[in-house]
Chains A and B, each alone.
Chain A
């Protein structure tokens, strides 16, 4: 019989983080983040302008990657200076705000993969964060969204693309569960994005050749799925070579299409051919190769193998260091945070957070703007489930993570228009007819499960027609325009103009909403310490700060005013009672005037009803007196007790907090306190009334326990409390006499 672990460990084992895989470091399998024993010692030997040895390997031993990097990727004019630099000295330069980005970039261009990997392995997490802030190419950070769904539903894709644009994403990446659907997806997402905002870049991630073909026809405006790997074997398994990738890179540029490559630590270990090297060293080869083939940018940081990188000691740090390495190679850095790397919300947040606060060209190389189940890349690190969390995080730290709040009515209108636009274009081009019910469902849907009328054959048929009749983006633009979507037609035409002018081919390019290119060239990062570098404009800061959930005192006052009715009326001035069964319920200054509802959702009148009923059960007579000269609950209760014939008083703040007081106690002492107002119920107020009655009769009641909760009650209510207290404070008048109130009708 196996002995079962003690309760504490059974409990800990059941937590979500223990669904994650954690690997023992194993250099032979490439399961090591930094500095594997098999990583080469950095070296570079150059004779007559030709690299003869690089990172411990002689020219005749070069594999494909070595050859391409050695012959195309290094600035040999800087090499001897760069290679002789002390590793820690360079690491310090990378972090030092006094050393310019240009200088560390210049030196990196002369460093071999092993050298740069060694240097960056010295950086600790806080140093990496600062280095991202300083070394990213573009001054203004941004973000990319995934927009996909299980059924390749063109209407839902368009609605969700418009939604992603509304939330601020400047690049949208789609893909397909069914390869044949790709052209339809590309068009639907492009139209939806154009409905949402001008200047959104769109890609459809599929096999290299088809992706290029769609780009050539204008159906997408950038490409990203051009994968690089750090060992020769895996590179070839990926059906490419550095030369074919270099050519592909130029093919995209030759059509004026922005393109970045994809790599990421752990890929080689996952595919069983890491050659005993560390993930970071192999990634250093990928990044050096990306620069060598002339790509303007890289998405890396684990990517599809993020959970492999995340499974080893230091793996999460190495993913972040990969991003920094891209920046130091003077390339656009699209910083991973896409494939979900942990079942734990804490771990996945921890993985993203330093990158989020540091700021990068694209924080996520795919924030799943759709629900997890609809993400055909697999669930992302961040998903539709997390958009409000992310917006709150931006606001908490005052940082620009690329997103903005969108109002419900605006998104509803955009979704409706996106669906209408796709319907019109598909009908005009003879691609598909959509029934009304489908369209209605797609507009409202939070995900594809909400669109039962979606037909799986529609995107496939549409794609076949797009391919057979060689439909181009110009045809789509014509159809949009003819159907009355002139604004969107113009926006898509603008994206075609962009590929003619070529400015967005430069490093780290995005478009603003007024179609200005922001890139290394037009918006270079100039961070040089506090007070420099990117700062959100006041307008952008408002977008970050003004999340839709925030409330002002005025909002609260408006909300409360709807609960204030004529149920509570002033009878006259309050006098002290003499009946031993008299119990005064003292209420706070705003009660029934500006505040009508307690934090638990009961109205003040309902709470008072229960208190009175409880007193009555014990044969006591309750009187309601508004104490106008204090907002302190202890004093309210004590004042009530002193006016009470029985000497027992109840204090009630309009927000619902209540206590029982006795005339001979000090203000801060009391008999019973019901402090957790949000958790109180009718029954608790009834019990409080009963207990007060028993105190009045000289009996000793069993005190009511405050209800227990593991919820963040304070997070939910404290902001409201601040506003409610402010309202009470405004109505509190020093020296004002108490007033006796009557309930004009029963709320029960």
Chain B
């Protein structure tokens, strides 16, 4: 029994609920706590990097699709200035997505060193 991002229990997300038009996107979306649980499982199975991925994912789980896709686009080579990436990192920090913010800052440093900033 797991709660979706909406808080609804997955056992409540039935075909009947679909028929009544009562299933929202958030009812079939993973909850950040579930991802943190999966991170602990990955850690216990000798893969701390997979665990780290799940922790980043937990931070992103409640950020809207468009914004997640926009951050991905900004991280591709030659797309962003140092300031763009700094702004994204700050925004992520403010949303509590501190691990992702650190990843973006680290990318900015690496891109500066390798000439990949816009």
Contact = CB atoms under 8 A, between A and B. Distances in A.
Chain A complexes with chain B:
yes
B114 A250 contact: no
Contact of A477 (B15, B48, B59): B15
A64 B63 CA distance: 27
A109 B46 contact: yes
A59 to B, nearest CB: 11
B57 A250 contact: yes
B68 interface: yes
B72 A241 contact: no
Interface string A497-509: 1011111011100
Nearest to A479: B18
Interface in B93-107: 100, 103-104, 106-107
Interface string B43-57: 001111111111011
A506 B34 contact: no
A473 B27 CA distance: 12
A506 B41 contact: yes
B82 interface: no
Given A209-B69, A474-B18, A477-B15, A239 B77 contact: yes
Nearest to B56: A250
A213 B47 CA distance: 27
Contacts of A296: 47, 50
Interface in A259-304: 291-296
Contacts of B68: 216, 251, 254
B75 A244 contact: yes
A249 interface: yes
Given A294-B53, A520-B45, A501 B34 contact: yes
A83 interface: no
A521 B10 contact: no
Contact-residue bracket for chain A: 35 or more
A506 B13 contact: no
Contact of B111 (A241, A248, A507): A241
A240 B76 contact: yes
B113 to A, nearest CB: 8
Contacts of A247: 56, 71-72, 75, 100, 103-104
A209 B73 contact: yes
Interface in A348-392: none
A500 B10 contact: yes
A295 B73 contact: no
Interface in B1-22: 2, 4, 10, 13-15, 18-19, 21
Given A213-B69, A489-B15, A497-B28, A232 B53 contact: no
A502 B37 contact: yes
A132 B9 CA distance: 40
A533 B11 CA distance: 35
B81 interface: no
A92 interface: no
Contacts of A216: 65, 68
Contacts of A525: none
Interface of A: 63-64, 67-68, 71-73, 75, 102, 105-106, 109, 208-209, 212-213, 216, 218, 232, 236, 239-241, 243-244, 246-256, 291-296, 330-331, 472-474, 477-478, 481-482, 486, 489-490, 493, 496-497, 499-503, 505-507, 520-521
Which 9 residue pairs of A and B lie closest in terms of their CB atoms, listed nearest first? A294-B53, A253-B57, A256-B30, A243-B107, A254-B60, A244-B75, A250-B56, A254-B57, A496-B28
Interface of B: 2, 4, 10, 13-15, 18-19, 21, 23, 25, 28-31, 34-35, 37-38, 41-42, 45-54, 56-61, 63, 65, 68-69, 71-73, 75-77, 100, 103-104, 106-107, 110-111, 114, 116
Given A251-B72, A254-B63, 16 more contacts: A64-B116, A68-B110, A109-B46, A216-B68, A243-B107, A253-B54, A254-B57, A472-B25, A489-B15, A489-B18, A500-B2, A500-B10, A500-B13, A500-B30, A501-B34, A506-B42
6 contacts: A241-B76, A244-B77, A255-B65, A478-B21, A496-B28, A500-B4
